[in-house]
């Protein structure tokens, strides 16, 4: 028994020693690991701590550009032409969207069809996007307000809107070519936007800070390195209403005459302010990315043309001012003049005008007469005619300083033929702005006014920074000479080649027609049957207010006669005189028992009938809903017993939509009433009756849109 007891005791001691060893071993290993961890922590926090902290900070740290707000562009009366605004772009999470369709009891095909219908996108296009295995896919950029509401109404999960800044042009094509556009980088690329980019764009700022895992700045870490400076806003001399008239007539020329191009410019004769300017390179700056880049050229400043007989106004001015001829000087037209080794023909050759005075020569637009005048100037002084061309502004940039502006092309030599041909507007190329300024100088008693497009520059708070005033650049010819040439230009309209340009309501005017054969740039010879036709006119004759230049290049219909442009010139001049002379029309109407017509387009037919009855206008309503057309245009004068026909048409509107009512020639009480009925916000400028509104009558817009009206007496 003792032996067994001793054996068990020995066995227990052995086991104890074995367990003790394992514990020691564990402690040694654990201690070693702990020491290793401490060493690693020491390495990470002490030895490599600064390195890791710097790496972590560099990952969180971010420096961003604060894009400066671009200045707005307004017309002369504060109507918005180009503004910075917010737009929405739509993106989707396709995987998440698909996972949520079952709860809506909707297939992906049905979802694609519904989404496509709201966004005006093809179902197949939307379906391809939905089927992508991605967490982020752009579906549509620049989504309209109506489309945003439509998408929200679908209540499909997995669709998200991102708000972005964008340049917006409220009038779309109206003045679009002149305004130009801004690219996605915020740089002005064409037109006014490019010309005055440095003024409009401002200066970007910079911000730094640390961002969290959701790419958002951690508030306490943000620091502004440089404050952004918003761009300055520009107020143009352009009158939005006049610009609308010009663009309307350019569109008519484009559709009716099918020209290669056409240009119309309007300048205040006595100030040099450009109140309207356009050409057939018309486009919507909001859609510049899908626009043919050939349309970006602003022809009024960047193109040249042979002016033809409109140059004879300058030739007459030089000849009379230098005393080599006067209005009673006589000439004999045999149908041509041989100069050097070339024959310069009259436009009626082989017929001729015979004996005629200088006045008759301009009225008949007789080439031989003005060849004689040019050669008499050359006889007096070798460079006298070319000096007058320079003085009037030809062959050099105008002071309007428009980006990409051309200086024109002067005659190539100084022999007799170059004097003769340039005096009748051939062998010389000018820009429209140069011809507009030259004709205005003659009509302004010989004073050349600096042309300008910028009326004011203001900061973001509306503080006036710069104001441009009319500037006289020089007395080109004496007042007496100017009066003689003005009389001659009036004779052109009264009894000469410009009789078709006579204005309504017996408004006296003056002007000059022009027809020039086009040059083949390849051969240097003139095309047969291809012409540039033009007219420059000034009205009223006894108190010149506006100079209008119309140029049509290579019209497919009526392109051989300057008379072809008469309807378009008259529509522009009469329209602008009318909208800026409401009181004169009121006097005419009152003295003759006649009525001035308001704009009823966009009004509900029952409201139009009520307003017409109050004004004493007899109307006949055809159709229901909203007025879409009227038999006499706004501001026209009709007899008191004449019936005005209003055409009505039903319009389908969404809950948040309304129709813009026509307000022109209405008093403020009617304006307020109509705006309240239409659900529009109203802002007024001036007193009297409405002569301009920023939203087009009859357009469908969102309710609560801002309607700005200009009133005048």
Position 293 scores a pLDDT of: 92
Residue 606's Cβ-side half-sphere holds a number of Cα atoms within 13 Å equal to 3
Answer whether residue 220 is part of any domain. no
The percentage of the chain sitting over the pLDDT mark of 70, rounded to a whole number, equals 89
**Domain shared by 344 and 300, yes or no:** yes
Q: Which two tokens stand for residue 260?
A: 């290669």
The percentage of the chain sitting over the pLDDT mark of 90, rounded to a whole number, equals 59
Does residue 105 carry a pLDDT above 50? yes
In CATH, what number is assigned to the domain containing residue 271?
Answer: 3.40.710.10
**Domain shared by 557 and 647, yes or no:** no
**Domain shared by 532 and 411, yes or no:** yes
Kindly write down the DSSP assignment for every residue of 573-586, as one continuous string: HHHHHHHT-HHHHH
**Domain shared by 532 and 673, yes or no:** no
Query: Among the three residues 201, 227, 258, which one is the final residue of a domain in this structure?
Result: 201
Does residue 584 carry a pLDDT above 60? no
Q: Which residue, chain included where needed, has tokens 């009223």?
A: 540
**Domain shared by 272 and 403, yes or no:** yes
**Domain shared by 575 and 595, yes or no:** no
Does residue 214 carry a pLDDT above 60? no
In CATH, what number is assigned to the domain containing residue 82?
Answer: 3.90.1310.10
List the domain range (segments joined by +) for residue 15. 10-47
Query: Among the three residues 579, 610, 630, which one is the final residue of a domain in this structure?
Result: 579
**Domain shared by 575 and 460, yes or no:** yes
Answer whether residue 167 is part of any domain. yes
The angle, 0 to 180 degrees and rounded to 10, between the axes of the packed helices 668-678 and 605-614 is: 170
The total number of structural domains in the chain stands at 4
Q: Which two tokens stand for residue 361?
A: 């020569």
Position 378 scores a pLDDT of: 96
Answer whether residue 222 is part of any domain. no
**329-377: pLDDT as tens digits:** 999 999 999 999 899 999 889 999 999 999 999 999 999 999 999 999 9
**Domain shared by 316 and 451, yes or no:** yes
CA distance 385 to 406: 22
What's the chain's average pLDDT?
A: 88
Q: What mean pLDDT do residues 119-131 have?
A: 92
Does residue 560 carry a pLDDT above 70? yes
Q: Which two tokens stand for residue 123?
A: 């179902």
Answer whether residue 221 is part of any domain. no
**Domain shared by 422 and 506, yes or no:** yes
Position 1 scores a pLDDT of: 46
Of 3-7, 254-258, 333-337, 532-536, give the lowest mean pLDDT range: 3-7
Residue (of 66, 464, 467) closest to 230 by Cα position: 66
Helix (H, G, I), strand (E, B) or coil at 700: strand
Answer whether residue 229 is part of any domain. no
CA distance 59 to 376: 82
Does residue 582 carry a pLDDT above 60? no
Answer whether residue 216 is part of any domain. no
**Domain shared by 560 and 596, yes or no:** no
Answer whether residue 88 is part of any domain. yes
**79-101: pLDDT as tens digits:** 889 988 777 788 888 888 998 89
559 and 257 Cβ atoms separated by less than 8 Å: yes
Does residue 51 carry a pLDDT above 90? no
Position 257 scores a pLDDT of: 95
Entry field: residues in the chain: 713
Position 36 scores a pLDDT of: 80
Split at pLDDT 50, 70, 90, the class of 178 is very high
Answer whether residue 451 is part of any domain. yes
Does residue 670 carry a pLDDT above 60? yes
Estimate to the nearest angstrom the gap between the alpha carbon of 424 and the chain centroid. Answer: 34
**290-339: pLDDT as tens digits:** 899 999 999 999 999 999 999 999 999 999 999 999 999 999 999 999 99
CA distance 533 to 548: 14
Of 168-172, 373-377, 471-475, 537-541, give the lowest mean pLDDT range: 168-172
**Domain shared by 194 and 307, yes or no:** no
Q: Are strands 80-92 and 61-66 parallel, antiparallel or unpaired?
A: unpaired
pTM: 0.72
**Domain shared by 37 and 83, yes or no:** no
């Amino acid at each position: 028994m003792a032996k067994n007891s001793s054996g068990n005791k020995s066995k227990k001691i052995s086991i104890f020693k074995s367990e003790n060893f394992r514990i020691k071993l564990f402690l040694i290993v654990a201690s070693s690991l702990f020491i290793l961890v401490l060493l690693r922590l020491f390495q990470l926090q002490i030895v490599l701590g600064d390195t890791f902290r710097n790496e972590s900070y560099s990952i969180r740290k971010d420096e961003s550009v604060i894009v400066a707000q671009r200045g707005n562009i307004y017309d002369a009366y504060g109507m918005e032409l180009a503004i910075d605004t917010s737009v929405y772009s739509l993106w989707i999470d396709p995987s998440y969207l698909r996972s949520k369709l079952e709860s809506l009891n909707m297939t992906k095909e049905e979802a694609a069809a519904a989404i496509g219908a709201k966004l005006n996108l093809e179902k197949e296009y939307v379906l391809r996007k939905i089927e992508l295995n991605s967490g982020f896919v752009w579906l549509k950029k620049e989504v309209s307000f109506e489309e945003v509401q439509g998408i929200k109404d679908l209540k499909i999960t997995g669709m998200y809107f991102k708000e972005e800044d964008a340049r917006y042009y409220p009038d779309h094509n109206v003045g679009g070519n002149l305004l130009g556009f801004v690219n996605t980088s915020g740089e002005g690329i064409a037109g006014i936007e490019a010309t005055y980019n440095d003024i409009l764009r401002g200066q970007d700022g910079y911000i730094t800070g640390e961002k969290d895992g959701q790419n958002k700045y951690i508030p306490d870490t943000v620091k502004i390195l440089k404050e952004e400076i918003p761009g300055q806003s520009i107020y143009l001399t352009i009158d939005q209403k006049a610009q609308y008239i010009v663009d309307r007539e350019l569109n008519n020329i484009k559709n009716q005459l099918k020209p290669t191009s056409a240009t119309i410019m309007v300048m205040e004769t006595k100030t040099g302010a450009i109140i309207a300017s356009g050409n057939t390179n018309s486009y919507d700056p909001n859609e510049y990315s899908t626009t043919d880049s050939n349309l970006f050229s602003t022809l009024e400043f960047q193109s040249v043309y042979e002016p033809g007989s409109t140059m004879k106004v300058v030739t007459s001015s030089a000849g009379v001012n230098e005393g080599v001829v006067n209005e009673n000087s006589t000439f004999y037209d045999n149908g041509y003049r041989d100069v050097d080794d070339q024959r310069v023909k009259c436009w009626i050759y082989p017929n001729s005008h015979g004996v005629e005075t200088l006045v008759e020569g301009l009225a008949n637009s007789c080439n031989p007469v003005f060849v004689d005048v040019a050669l008499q100037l050359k006889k007096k002084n070798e460079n006298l005619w070319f000096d007058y061309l320079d003085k009037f502004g030809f062959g050099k940039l105008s002071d309007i300083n428009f980006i990409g502006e051309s200086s024109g092309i002067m005659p190539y030599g100084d022999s007799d033929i170059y004097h003769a041909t340039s005096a009748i507007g051939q062998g010389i190329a000018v820009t429209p702005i140069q011809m507009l300024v030259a004709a205005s100088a003659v009509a302004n008693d010989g004073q050349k006014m600096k042309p300008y497009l910028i009326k004011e520059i203001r900061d973001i708070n509306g503080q006036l920074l710069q104001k441009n005033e009319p500037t006289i650049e020089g007395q080109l010819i004496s007042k007496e000479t100017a009066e003689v040439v003005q009389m001659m230009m009036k004779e052109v309209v009264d009894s000469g080649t410009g009789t078709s340009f006579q204005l309504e309501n017996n408004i006296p005017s003056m002007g000059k027609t022009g027809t020039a054969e086009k040059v083949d740039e390849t051969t240097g010879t003139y095309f047969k049957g291809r012409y540039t036709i033009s007219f420059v006119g000034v009205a009223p004759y006894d108190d010149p207010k506006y100079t209008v230049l119309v140029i049509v290049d290579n019209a497919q219909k009526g392109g051989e006669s300057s008379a072809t442009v008469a309807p378009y010139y008259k529509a522009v001049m009469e329209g602008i005189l009318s909208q800026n002379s409401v009181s004169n029309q009121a006097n005419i109407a009152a003295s003759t028992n006649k009525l001035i017509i308001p704009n009823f387009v966009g009004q509900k037919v029952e409201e139009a009938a009520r307003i017409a009855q109050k004004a004493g206008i007899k109307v006949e309503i055809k159709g229901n809903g909203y007025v879409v057309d009227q038999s006499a245009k706004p501001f026209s004068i009709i007899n008191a017993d004449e019936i005005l026909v209003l055409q009505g048409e039903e319009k389908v509107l969404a809950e948040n939509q309304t129709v813009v009512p026509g307000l022109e020639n209405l008093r403020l009480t009617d304006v307020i009433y109509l705006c309240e009925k239409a659900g529009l916000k109203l802002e007024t400028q001036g007193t009297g009756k409405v002569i301009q509104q920023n939203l087009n009558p009859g357009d469908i817009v969102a309710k609560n849109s801002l309607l700005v009206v200009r009133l005048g007496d």
